Amino acid sequence: MFSISPSARLRPSPFFDATVAEGVRAFTTYNHMLMPTSYGDPQAEYWRLINGVSQWDVAVERQVQLKGPDAAVLAQILAPRDLSRQKVGQGKYVPLCNHHGVLINDPICLKLADDLFWLSIADSNIWFWAQAIAAERGLNVEVSEPDVSPMAIQGPKAEDVVAHVCGDFVRDLKYFWFSETTIGDIPVVVQRSGWSKQGGFEIYLRDGSRGTELWNIFKEAGQPWGIGPGNPNWCERIESGLVSYGGDSDTTTNPFEVRMGKYVDLDVPDDTIGIQALRQIAATGAKRHTLGLVLEGDTPIAPGFSWNPIMQNGRKMGDLTNVVFSFRLKKNIGFALVSADLAIGDVVQCQIGGTSHQGRLTDLPFL
Ligand code: THG
């Protein structure tokens, strides 16, 4: 075994001590932080998310704050999705693209006030990007990172737990809408969101010194519903068709190729970054698309975290960007980022760890 050396560049999550107390067994890195990826019992953690309620340290979803008179202008320059009708208290899932229309992040954009936004980012550095764009465009906006750390409560029983802690008002929150509130005297934002399709909320802690306290409030309140620790679940998210930026995309992928076309609005202002390129791609059609792949056989193969080539008639047609044994489908499944010439129903071959597997392309989500 080896360990990870501490460094000033590796930012601790406010929930780190709580996850250690829960028996965390593995971490991954994300946005220069550690995110728990296992508490040692993948099956139990999966079924707790599907049938019960699961508590996640997702402080790695760091916030890029845009504040000032031009905050809304900057948000719209960064995001090729129409934000003009976004209300205070509403979140929107937005692709961020570079000038070539390549996806560079897929945050949730929270509008806290007319002049205050948070981009709750995936794993790439958007602070530099947003700061540079703001300066180059001469905007009156401050780009910074606030003291904010999300914790997720996910699963069919999450609403009961969060309502028990925060009050019944959370039951009325629509998807991605949020409310600023306090739990005791701990300042938080509560949003109906989270990287699973099992329902749930994210509690954005606004005082990093109180992570253990907040964790334990939910841990105790959730006991009647059997709450336990978990993390963004590799199996559930593949079954549910949730895209992982940087995992299912690479340095050439545009939003249309990864099923994010419905979050692109081609009529945003012309100064939105990447919109020229996206209009072009939309006009000619993307060269690739993402489908599901169901492999033949029901023997579990090891979860895959790197791309594997997808072949048809001996020609490479794309890549399998992830693979997992689905506990509900009892099949090995994954996302196929393949040529737009391939369609649902096509039979393809995929080389995984030295073995060739046959499979059939399907629609997403799997479940
Ligand atoms: N929570 C918060 N911030 C985040 C994530 C999160 N930042 C990084 C990363 N995760 C962002 N990625 C996603 C991807 C998908 C969804 C949420 C965050 C999601 N998608 C639904 C879907 O695809 O069906 C619904 C999208 C919609 O219809 O608008 O929920 O998890 N705070």
Q: For 108-144, what is each residue's pLDDT tens digit?
A: 999 999 999 999 999 999 999 999 999 999 999 999 9
Q: Angle 211-221/158-166 helices, nearest 10 degrees?
A: 120
Residue with the smallest CA separation from ligand 1 atom 16 is 195
Closest C-alpha among 361, 267, 279 to residue 312: 361
Quote the ligand 1 centre to 195 CA distance (angstroms).
6
Report CA(249)–ligand 1 centroid distance (Å).
15
Q: Are 230 and 48 in contact (CB under 8 A)?
A: yes
Residue 38 Cα to ligand 1 middle (Å): 21
Centre of ligand 1 from the C-alpha of residue 29, in Å: 18
CA 312 to chain centre: 31
Confirm if 147 and 206 have CB atoms less than 8 A apart. Answer: yes
Q: What is the dihedral of CA 218, 219, 225, 226, to 10 degrees?
A: 160
Work out the percent of the chain whose per-residue pLDDT is above 90.
96
Find the helix or strand (DSSP H, E) in which 82 lies.
none
Residue nearest to atom 20 of ligand 1 (CA): 242
Instruction: Please tell me the distance between residue 349's alpha carbon and the centre of ligand 1 in angstroms.
Output: 31
User: Considering only CA atoms, which of 18, 45, 254 is closest in space to residue 151?
Assistant: 18
Ligand 1 atom nearest to 150, measured from its CA: 32
Is the C-alpha dihedral spanning 309, 313, 314, 317 positive or negative? Answer: negative
pLDDT at 2: 82
How many Cβ atoms sit within 10 Å of the Cβ of residue 216?
12
Task: List ligand 1's pocket residues with C-beta within 6 A.
Answer: 61, 93, 106-108, 120-122, 150, 193-195, 202, 242
Give the position, in ligand 1's atom list, of the atom nearest the Cα of 194.
31
DSSP letters, 106-122, are: --EEEEEETTEEEEE--
Can the peptide bond before residue 365 be classed as cis, meaning omega within 30 degrees of 0? yes
Question: Tokens 């008639």 label which residue?
Answer: 313
Distance 238 CA to ligand 1 centre (A): 13
Q: Which atom number of ligand 1 is nearest to the Cα of residue 202? A: 32
CA of 176 to the centre of ligand 1 (A): 9
**CA-CA distance, 70 to 246, in Å (whole number)?**
29
Class of domain 287-367: mainly beta
The pair of three-digit structure tokens given for residue 330, joined into one six-digit string: 């009892």
For residue 93, how far is its CA from the centre of ligand 1 (angstroms)? 6
Alpha-carbon torsion 134, 138, 141, 144, what sign?
positive
**Tens-place pLDDT, residues 25-81:** 999 999 999 999 999 999 999 999 999 999 999 999 999 999 999 999 999 999 999
pLDDT of residue 251: 95
Contact 305, 352 (CB under 8 A): no
The pLDDT of residue 6 is above 90: no
- Fold (CATH) for 16-61+148-237: Gyrase A; domain 2 (3.30.1360)
Find the 102 Cα to ligand 1 centroid distance in Å: 18
Q: List phi, psi (to 5°) of 232.
A: -45, 120
CA 32/CA 123 separation, integer angstroms: 9
pTM, full prediction: 0.97
- Break the chain into its structural domains and give their ranges: 16-61+148-237, 287-367
Q: Counting atoms of ligand 1 from 1, which one is nearest the CA of 240?
A: 24
| DSSP SS3 for 263 | helix
1: pLDDT strictly greater than 90: no
Out of 61, 93, 190, 243, give the residue to mutate to test ligand 1, the one with the largest number of ligand atoms within 8 Å of its CB.
93
Q: Distance (Å, rounded) from C-alpha 258 to C-alpha 254?
A: 7
Give, using CA atoms, the residue closest to atom 21 of ligand 1. Answer: 242
Alpha-carbon torsion angle 222, 225, 230, 232, nearest 10: -100
Best probe residue, ligand 1, of 56, 86, 110, 120 (max atoms within 8 Å of C-beta): 120
Residue-wise pLDDT for 144-162, tens only, equals 999 999 999 999 999 999 9
User: So what's the pLDDT on residue 172?
Assistant: 98
Residue 195 φ then ψ, to 5° = -85, 60
Half-sphere exposure of 244 (CA within 13 A, CB side): 23
Counting every residue written for the chain, the total comes to 367
Separation of alpha carbons 358 and 239, rounded Å: 19
Strands (E), 80-141: 91-93, 96-97, 103-105, 108-113, 116-120
Question: What is the model's pLDDT at position 305?
Answer: 78
Q: How far is the CA of 190 from the centre of ligand 1 (A)?
A: 15
Q: Return the residue whose CA atom lies nearest to atom 28 of ligand 1.
A: 93
Q: Whose CA is nearest to atom 24 of ligand 1?
A: 242
Mean pLDDT value across the chain: 97
Ligand 1 pocket test: which of 242, 363, 364 has the largest number of ligand atoms within 8 Å of its C-beta?
A: 242
Find all residues with CB under 8 Å of 99, minimum gap 6, and list them: 273, 274, 276, 277
